[in-house]
Amino acid sequence: MENPYKILVVDDEADILEFIDYNLKKEGYQVWLAHNGRDAIATAKKIKPDLILLDVMMPVMDGIETCKQIKADADFAKTFVVFLTARAEEYSEIAGFQAGADDYISKPIKPRVLITRLNAILRRKVKEIAETKLTIGNIVIDRESFLVYRDDHRIQFARKEFELLFLLASKPGKVFTREYILEKVWGDEVLVVDRTIDVHIRKIREKLGDEYIGTVKGVGYKFEA
């Protein structure tokens, strides 16, 4: 059964590519192959992979440089990079992580270990996506775009208004104290007082509607589920 994840495997050894390709496809992954870093970047720009399994030692462009270029490109901000190498030296791992790698798998490859590690990494992706978008009834709050939709109508919020709304909506029905709100939304910013929260709550209600934000007198605020 095919799953939605796209994996790009990059290695200059054809037998390793064939071996990984077979095992990943058996698990339902969509798989693309590349033989060096330069080809990997070109392919990645076309397919936007969820994860790149990347050998370190390759001709044309090695894995370290490839990873640096991928991580520097905003289009791949949500792409995981996992290094695959026969070199177990500590300095190689350090170089990989400094380049931005998310994980490290050593050769020789054990299929079950490979699949387990990749599944675990991709579950992080699911969690991160879930944490960036909240859907509660007719309200959608998108943390990536800082936009809120009510009945598919877009509502623009100032940054602090949005962060306050997202915090409350992250746990509908939970009462957030003023102290907790100040800490999470404003942190160590100076010249922030309790009244600041009240002003932002009022602005949120004006834009979203009074029925979504409840007040618990003497305690704080909550998002009404």
Interatomic CA distance for residues 1 and 4, integer angstroms:
10
Quick one: 49 and 115 in the same domain? yes
CA atoms within 13 A on the CB side of 67: 28
State the pairing for strand pair 176-177/220-223. Answer: antiparallel
Q: Which of 131, 156, 185 delimits the end of a domain?
A: 131
**Beta carbons within 10 angstroms of residue 3's beta carbon:** 12
- The answer to whether position 166 is within a domain reads yes
pLDDT one-digit tens code per residue, 171-218: 899 999 988 898 888 775 545 566 788 889 999 999 999 999 999 988
Q: Which of 131, 153, 173 is the last residue of a domain?
A: 131
Per-range mean pLDDT, top range of 105-109, 124-128, 165-169: 165-169
Q: Which domain holds residue 101?
A: 6-131
CA nearest to 223, candidates 158, 180, 181, 215: 215
20-67 residue pLDDT tens: 999 999 999 999 999 999 999 999 999 999 999 998 888 889 888 999
Q: Is there a domain that residue 66 lies in?
A: yes
The pTM of this model reads 0.58
Task: Check whether residue 120 and residue 152 sit in a common domain.
Answer: no
pLDDT in the model for residue 31: 96
- Domain end (from 115, 131, 147): 131
Average confidence (pLDDT) over 151-175: 89
Are 120 and 146 members of one domain?
no
In this structure, are 36 and 126 located in the same domain? Answer: yes
Tell me the β-bridge partners of 80.
Answer: 51
CB 222 within 8 A of CB 176: yes
In a domain, 69, yes or no: yes
Report pLDDT for 169: 92
Instruction: Name the H helices within 133-193.
Output: 159-169, 178-181
Which CATH number do you get for residue 189?
A: 1.10.10.10
> Residue 121: pLDDT above 60?
yes
- How many structural domains is the chain composed of? 2
Average pLDDT over the chain reads 85
